[in-house]
Amino acid sequence: MSNNGLRLVWVYPDLLSTYGDQGNALVVERRARQRGLDVQRVDVRSDQPVPTSGDIYLIGGGEDRPQRLAAERLRRDGGLSRAASNGAIIFSVCAGYQILGHEFINDLGEREQGLGLLDVVSTRGEGARCVGDVLADIDPHLGLEPLTGFENHQGVTHLGPTARPFARVRLGRGNGTGDGTEGAYNDTVFGTYMHGPVMARNPQIADHLLKLALDVNALPPTDDRWYEALRAERIASATQPA
């Protein structure tokens, strides 16, 4: 993090914010400010260059054609890949998650090259669409509470040897592979299918990104009563009998 404070970059809100994932940027920004951090938020539209000097980059979900356009422009721009090489933290959701992988199936039914920042490959599932609430256990190495979110995707994402599952589902379908995995991550790059927005349901994820950016093991406490009430309500809703 620079001496000027935390630089938070929201990537392509004009293409990749279909399911309210811009709420993730709002939550990270608020939780940083609650800790007294000076936050510079940069919203980068798809006709603008992606800065390479950010600390945390957030990417949301989107429909098939905007996803293809976003992938094309991110490849051509190169800024996000350079930021990753510089050690920036990147958190992606759904279409953004697929873009960070090696390839996915675009709206034309063709293989579309991703950025290769996560060792994953996404295809299109043949069965029913993955839709509904999800409850999952985040990788114990991250030391976070169970994950709650909402999935809505047709994608099936297979993890390669250098990607770790972000979580393992108790309820829901996650990556759609049938092996119980949800999302993927390496040291500083994260991907998930969870909407919600996921940071509002799981503020500990936002805090984890902040700790990585600050290179600290703990943050000052904040008033989490609103978040905890939302978490409890969504977990109860997901686990109650139909």
For the annotated catalytic residues, the residue numbers are: 94, 195
- At 140 the three-state DSSP class reads helix
Q: Where would I find the H helices in 43-185?
A: 64-77, 79-85, 95-100
Cβ 71 vs Cβ 112: under 8 Å = yes
Phi, psi angles (nearest 5°) of residue 105: -95, 125
For residue 49, give the DSSP letter: P
Q: How far is CA 170 from CA 15, 120, 137, 217, in A?
A: 31, 22, 7, 28
Residue 141 DSSP label = G
Residue 7 burial (C-beta neighbours within 10 Å; 0-12, 13-18, 19+) = buried
- Is 75 annotated for ligand binding? no
If residue 88 lies in a helix (H) or strand (E), which one and from where to where? none
Q: Which residues are annotated as a binding site for substrate?
A: 129
Q: Which residues are annotated as a binding site?
A: 129
